[in-house]
Structure 1
Amino acid sequence: MLQDCNIRCAASGLSLSHARTNQLVDDAVVWANQHGLVVALKDPAFVNPELAVIHAPLALTPVPYPRTRFELAQQVMPLFNSLIDAVASDEAYLETVLRPAAQHDAFTARLLRVLCASRGRRAALRAAGREVVLGVHRSDYMLDQPSGTFLQVELNTIASSFGCLSALMTRLHAYMASRAGGLDASRLPANPALEHIPDALAAAAAASGHVEAGGVVVMVVQPGERNAYDQQWIQLQLWERHRLRTLRLTLADIAAGAVVDEASGTLRLGGEEGQPPVCVFYFRAGYTPSDYPSEVEWAARELIEASNAAKCPTVAYQLAGTKKVQQDLAAPGVLERFTTDPRDAALLREFFAGLWSLDPVDLAADGAAATAVADALQRPEAYVLKPQREGGGNNLYGEELRAALQAGGEQLSAFILMQRILPPVNKSVLVRNGRWQEAETLSELGIYGTFVRHGDEVILNKQSGHLVRTKTSSSNEGGVAAGFAVLDSPYLVD
């Protein structure tokens, strides 16, 4: 804890005494606990640790972002939704781009096997008018201080988390503006993720044709999930807004009790005709190898992919969100394969950071990639090395990056080299487990997008709210659930 001194709010220049900061932190924690801005405590001292909660890690006041850049990131999100759908629909492209990475990354290779194994069944569903795809995406950016633009960190197509808690963060910061003074709540942009995400699931459920038969939404989860309350806000909203029942099941649970009707593709849990069909599978797991500890979990994923339930994501959508695809889309001329309007391609490119392939064939043919690798060996602090992984904690920086590049070899085909984005440093008050600290921080903005397509008809395509994660400037990782960052909000400045 700091000694008596003034704490400054980055968004407004507001100066707070140590005592006043203590009061506001107490207010924020109480508000968070009262309004469901919480995560599971996992304290074994409780009779049922799963039901004990504590406030989510949070920033006391919001972080400034330029209004025009923020609104442009909102504007482009439906284009990213459409791009993912177009890329996922071109399975020959996915297989070609990901084949080198799959040779050295068993997880990517297995996802490609699921894609191939389910192709016949999915084609039959498409022909029968039963194909429903659902996207809940999040495009993550950092504000690059040298250029003054948002550059894309990654585009998440599976388990895009914290949408509901982020909507609550907006409400918390509006409350803090009324309590602290010096903050203008009208500069906090609307954050509809709490409504838009469940509404997208409900639209996909309706398109599946199973709602009238009592169809259920299955949320695919990890055992012992600490971020369950963000997920359960969706569950609550699905019931209160749409009267859709949600079941929380692991992949192992699904494998143990699910059967797909060969003729129709309808999946029922329990395998009995009297059981309700599944209308939507919504994955909040399945993005990391540890989610598939045995063949049982892979069998469940294949069963889901073969069903006529809407899936968020399909395996193709998940593969379309890989780092290797992100890198390839940034190459000259590739976006034009998936966009019909050159202006859309130009707008999307405004958000691309420098991205380079490390496949030996590409390095031999691409002088720009070879130049970037040579520069990264000299200045590793200006780059990041990314594998085909989600969930945080997987990237290589600094001397680890240099060592990996020096070792070389075909195994680097499973990585991409990316420009290091340099965001501005702010002063923030970070609150975790009821205690606070002032720190120099960096922030990352995520824009949510929702997308539903039934056959050739796009039912829904919109930007659906936002997330800000703030971390200490000394941290390379930025995950909230992983313990590196706190939830925050954007404060728009002109």
Structure 2
Amino acid sequence: MTTSLTSGAYPPQLTQEEEQYLIATIKDWSIANGLAVRPPPTVIPAEADPEGIAAINTPVTVFPSPFPRVCFEQGRVVQNSYNELYAAVSRDEEFISQIVKEVAGGDEFIQKLWDIHLKVKEEGYTQPLSLGLFRSDYMVHQDTSTSPPSFQAKQVEFNTIASSFGGLSYHTSRLHKYLADTEYSLLQAPISSILLDLPENSATEGLAAGIQAAYHAYADSKLGHPKCVIFLVQPGERNVFDQRHLEYQITKAKPSIPVFRLPFDKVLTHTTIAGSPKRQLLYHLPRNPSKVYEVAVVYIRAGYGPGDYPDQRAWEGRHHLERSAAIKCPTVLTQLAGTKKVQQVLATPRPSSAPSILGRFIKDDTPAAGELWRTFTNIYPMDTSEAGLEARKKALDPQQAESYVLKPQREGGGNNIYRGAIPGFLRSIPEPHWGSYILMELITPPPVSNIILRNGHLEQGGVICELGIYGTCLWNQNTGNVRHNEQAGYLLRTKGDSSDEGGVAAGFGCMDSCCLV
């Protein structure tokens, strides 16, 4: 039995005139306020926009989606513990080494990242500080064993690199508040703004504050150069405005913080490493190479998947950054801490006679550990351990596989294998590679309906919502001292309930905001 999150008709039925008016209102507000993306070629072909000047409104829900207050608060409150947990994981080289051994046989990308760490370790790291801009993603789990059914936030994944959509999420919350104040009460089936509990969203400010904390923690240049922040980005980034909002927020600091965008494939072209023992990273302004900045922080929004490394030069560029004195967000070790295998191992149930694996980082029987355990869901290895062999049976059984998702060690949308596709997929790859995947029990949230505006057209029906809570953490990799640990706003992504993948940039989901119920 499932329970709807709303009583009555939500969203309200719209007349054709109301639909057209809301489409026009949302499109104009979105472009005027930067709730926008560059269009995919399927919407505006490259030959129709050769100069790349076009922008369209981000796919977005017409109404904020109902979301259980208890789950929203659960995710928000536990974020500082998650920040602390993943800072600790990234410091545990022995633990990460074991994770890499378990998955690298079927995942060359993970092995190559680890090789960069080993290479820099041999030379000696010169920057002990690490910055994390994290996002922990949840879906609502409905526990039908209670009466009435109760709700819990269960973690889908934890992102340690390129945790995107903070800028667009902030503006989506603003859009829905604007519509609540001006439009919803005028509908033929009106909604009073007083009845909508729309939480504040500080994502842009919160994420920027993390980068600013790292910038100020980096000492003034001994080489006499001004300091700067680098946004390392993918060439031709469609999600540019999301990133720009963060840049603009950082530059509001007094005194101003210089921020520059650097395509990942231009790292070796526009940066050098000083010949000093500290190995400062120097950025040579492409439009005026006589201007040289010392890079305090590299915020890495590229390099999270194999597609960003088409050749050896790309790997040399990542190594170049890793060995420098710039504070990395994230380091290679922090990126590896975000693999799905780490999530699976941390969620391994605690043996009755021994500490849990989570207890290696957050003491068992503490409130923080209890908060973390409540967010864990059932995740299994796909190796040759007893638990792994049991998981393989489930994954290969077409009937049992319907309750699971198979996940590789990847960030970004479009990488997972769902339900009935799992058995055939496993049989299509070498069995020694199976251990590089994890098997997660699907979370079945309560039914929600909404209307999505995508590419000028409305899509109405059942939707699935995924909550992301942002966190920022700055810590010393050598001592473990945490200098900054904050929860930093939220993201709500929504997709049609017939779609498995939820990535907005990948074209599956849309931006949304919470109406707490």
**After TM superposition, is the score higher than 0.5?**
yes
1:154 matched residue in structure 2 = 157
1:110 matched residue in structure 2 = 112
1:390 correspondence with 2:411 = yes
Specify whether residues 464 and 266 from structure 1 end up closer, same or farther in structure 2 by C-alpha distance, changes over 3 A only: same
Specify whether residues 445 and 334 from structure 1 end up closer, same or farther in structure 2 by C-alpha distance, changes over 3 A only: same
Q: Where do 5+ consecutive residues of structure 2 fail to align?
A: 1-5, 145-150, 186-190, 351-355
1:17 is matched with which residue: 3, 15, 22?
A: 15
* Higher mean displacement: 11-20 or 350-359: 11-20
1:190 matched residue in structure 2 = 200
Shift of 1:122: 4.7
Q: Which amino acid aligns with 2:295?
A: V
1:199 correspondence with 2:209 = yes
1:419 correspondence with 2:441 = yes
Shift of 1:251: 2.4
1:251 is matched with which residue: 254, 258, 264?
A: 264
Is the CA contact 2:340–2:438 (under 8 Å) kept in the aligned structure 1? yes
Is the CA contact 2:134–2:160 (under 8 Å) kept in the aligned structure 1? yes
Shift of 1:48: 5.5
Q: Which amino acid aligns with 1:67?
A: R
1:219 matched residue in structure 2 = 231
* Higher mean displacement: 48-57 or 461-470: 48-57
Q: Secondary structure at the match of 2:498?
A: coil
* Higher mean displacement: 163-172 or 49-58: 49-58
Is the CA contact 2:234–2:308 (under 8 Å) kept in the aligned structure 1? yes
Shift of 1:398: 2.5
2:175 matched residue in structure 1 = 172
* Higher mean displacement: 273-282 or 10-19: 10-19
Q: Where do 5+ consecutive residues of structure 1 fail to align?
A: 1-7
1:4 matched residue in structure 2 = none
Instruction: Report sequence identity in percent.
Output: 36
Q: Secondary structure at the match of 1:160?
A: coil
Q: Which amino acid aligns with 2:176?
A: H
2:486 is matched with which residue: 438, 457, 462?
A: 462
What is the distance in 2 between the residues matched to 1:254 and 1:14? 51
Shift of 1:79: 0.6
Matches within 5 A, 1:34-73: 34-41=32-39, 43=44, 44=46, 49-73=51-75
Q: Which amino acid aligns with 2:483?
A: I
Is the CA contact 1:162–1:230 (under 8 Å) kept in the aligned structure 2? yes
1:348 matched residue in structure 2 = 372
Output the TM-score relative to the length of structure 2: 0.87
What is the distance in 1 between the residues matched to 2:279 and 2:24? 53
What is the distance in 2 between the residues matched to 1:56 and 1:395? 24
1:322 correspondence with 2:343 = no
Specify whether residues 328 and 29 from structure 1 end up closer, same or farther in structure 2 by C-alpha distance, changes over 3 A only: same
What is the distance in 2 between the residues matched to 1:153 and 1:353? 8
2:140 matched residue in structure 1 = 143
What is the distance in 1 between the residues matched to 2:391 and 2:102? 20
Is the CA contact 2:492–2:512 (under 8 Å) kept in the aligned structure 1? yes
Q: Secondary structure at the match of 1:241?
A: coil
Shift of 1:280: 0.7
Matches within 5 A, 1:303-452: 303-331=320-348, 332=350, 333-340=356-363, 342-343=365-366, 344-360=368-384, 362=385, 365-366=386-387, 369-376=388-395, 377=397, 378-405=399-426, 409-452=431-474
What is the distance in 1 between the residues matched to 2:279 and 2:251? 25
Is the CA contact 2:449–2:462 (under 8 Å) kept in the aligned structure 1? yes
Is the CA contact 1:61–1:173 (under 8 Å) kept in the aligned structure 2? yes
Q: Secondary structure at the match of 1:348?
A: helix
1:453 correspondence with 2:465 = no
Shift of 1:307: 1.0
Deviations 1:15-73 (A, max 9, x none): 43232232122211111111111111364356654332111110000111111221111
2:81 is matched with which residue: 65, 79, 82?
A: 79
Deviations 1:237-267 (A, max 9, x none): 1212351122211222111232222411201
Deviations 1:455-494 (A, max 9, x none): 643221111111111111111110001111110001101x
Shift of 1:138: 0.5
Is the CA contact 1:210–1:277 (under 8 Å) kept in the aligned structure 2? no
What is the distance in 2 between the residues matched to 1:247 and 1:266? 17
Q: Which amino acid aligns with 1:448?
A: Y
Q: Which amino acid aligns with 2:411?
A: E
Q: Secondary structure at the match of 2:468?
A: strand
1:275 matched residue in structure 2 = 292
**Structure showing the higher helix proportion among its residues:** 1
Q: Secondary structure at the match of 1:76?
A: helix
What is the distance in 1 between the residues matched to 2:516 and 2:51? 39
Q: Which amino acid aligns with 2:240?
A: A
Q: Which amino acid aligns with 1:347?
A: E
What is the distance in 2 between the residues matched to 1:352 and 1:448? 17
What is the distance in 1 between the residues matched to 2:120 and 2:513? 41
Shift of 1:372: 3.8
Is the CA contact 2:381–2:391 (under 8 Å) kept in the aligned structure 1? no
Is the CA contact 2:230–2:297 (under 8 Å) kept in the aligned structure 1? yes
Is the CA contact 1:24–1:180 (under 8 Å) kept in the aligned structure 2? no
1:266 correspondence with 2:280 = yes
Shift of 1:210: 4.0
Shift of 1:351: 0.8
Q: Which amino acid aligns with 1:373?
A: R
Shift of 1:12: 5.0
What is the distance in 1 between the residues matched to 2:268 and 2:51? 26
Is the CA contact 2:70–2:152 (under 8 Å) kept in the aligned structure 1? no
What is the distance in 2 between the residues matched to 1:215 and 1:340? 39
Is the CA contact 1:39–1:55 (under 8 Å) kept in the aligned structure 2? yes
1:295 correspondence with 2:312 = yes
What RMSD in Å do the two structures reach over aligned CA positions?
A: 2.2
Deviations 1:423-446 (A, max 9, x none): 122211110122212122111111
Q: Which amino acid aligns with 1:177?
A: A
* Higher mean displacement: 180-189 or 393-402: 180-189
1:93 matched residue in structure 2 = 95
Q: Which amino acid aligns with 1:245?
A: P
Q: Which amino acid aligns with 2:424?
A: A
What is the distance in 2 between the residues matched to 1:133 and 1:10? 49
